[in-house]
Amino acid sequence: MRSLLNFLERYNNLIIFLILEGIGVYLLATRNYYHNTRMVNGIRWVTYGAEEKLNNTRSYLNLRQINENLAAENTALRNSINRLVRNNNPVFFSVSDTVYQQLYQYTTARLTSNSVNKQKNFFTINKGTRHGITNDMAVIADGGVAGVIVGCSENFSVVMSLLNLDFRLSARLKSNGYFGSLSWDGRDYRKAILSDIPQHVNVNVGDTIETTGYSAVFPEGVIVGTVVDYQKPGSDFYEITVLLETDFRKLHFVDVVANKRKSEFIELENQIQ
């Protein structure tokens, strides 16, 4: 009690000033229309600014959940598109899915680790055998090629990145259908090299490079990147520099692609060989 009295005695002038100031502001705001309007508008402006900053903070904190929801929606859309595609030729039909004739199935996954600055890069995702993931499944990100599954545990999988000297991909020029072999040369993480394209073929900067679908791994027509340069190194084939569609430094979510007829495809090839 004594401390309170000492506080009031020490600051009594300031307290009286603040009380009188508050009364004065109240009378000014309530008895004068102009000042009342200015004060209300000022309070609204301060409140609006505070609410806007609070909403921005909440949105930023929820970005991870938003990204996960968007990735799940993209996966659902990919599966829906595959189910809606019908084979125009009634002679051919799907044995494994006679209703929708769906060839590929997609599932979303989140990266738990990633590397881009090595000669042989890999990244890990949070899906494994428990989620139906197996070796040699294709991995795409933002509609572009990302890599291939090379190892699985129950809850995680390791992906050989396209940024790996051992990675090879059958890719083609979308404009004319000529295909070759795409690989990474270990230099720029944003660029890869497409080889085995004959020099009589018309190649232009800006041409789209996509997958051929000539394997049981990647679907046909997945974007790889665009042509940014091409050289004639002295052989009969171009050396085409491709700007990759996938930015591996920004990878957070990917889609794992399961070919539902993969075992049939491999079994038939093995019989012929």
The pLDDT tens digits of the residues spanning 174-196 come to: 999 999 999 999 999 999 999 99
Amino acid, res. 27: L
Q: Where are the domains of the chain?
A: 2-61, 65-272
Give 62's pLDDT tier (boundaries 50, 70, 90): low
Angle between helices 2-10 and 12-31 (to 10 degrees): 70
pLDDT at residue 111, as a whole number: 92
pLDDT tens digits along 103-147: 788 888 999 999 999 999 999 999 999 999 999 999 999 889 999
Identify which has the larger pLDDT, 185 or 259. Answer: 185
Give 61's pLDDT tier (boundaries 50, 70, 90): low
Instruction: Give yes or no for residue 233 having a pLDDT over 90.
Output: no
Ranges 51-60, 68-77, 136-145, 176-185, most confident: 176-185
Identify which has the larger pLDDT, 90 or 163. Answer: 163
Mean pLDDT (whole number) for 226-254: 92
CATH of domain 65-272: 2.40.10.340
* Closest to 187 measured CA to CA, from 238, 229, 151, 217: 229
pLDDT at residue 13, as a whole number: 77
Alpha-carbon Rg for the chain in angstroms: 31
Instruction: Give yes or no for residue 237 having a pLDDT over 90.
Output: yes
* Closest to 153 measured CA to CA, from 178, 176, 167, 134: 134
Instruction: Give yes or no for residue 227 having a pLDDT over 80.
Output: yes
Q: In this predicted structure, which of 72-86, 124-138, 205-219 has the lowest mean pLDDT?
A: 72-86
Q: How far apart are CA 189 and CA 194, in angstroms?
A: 15
Give 163's pLDDT tier (boundaries 50, 70, 90): very high
pLDDT at residue 11, as a whole number: 72
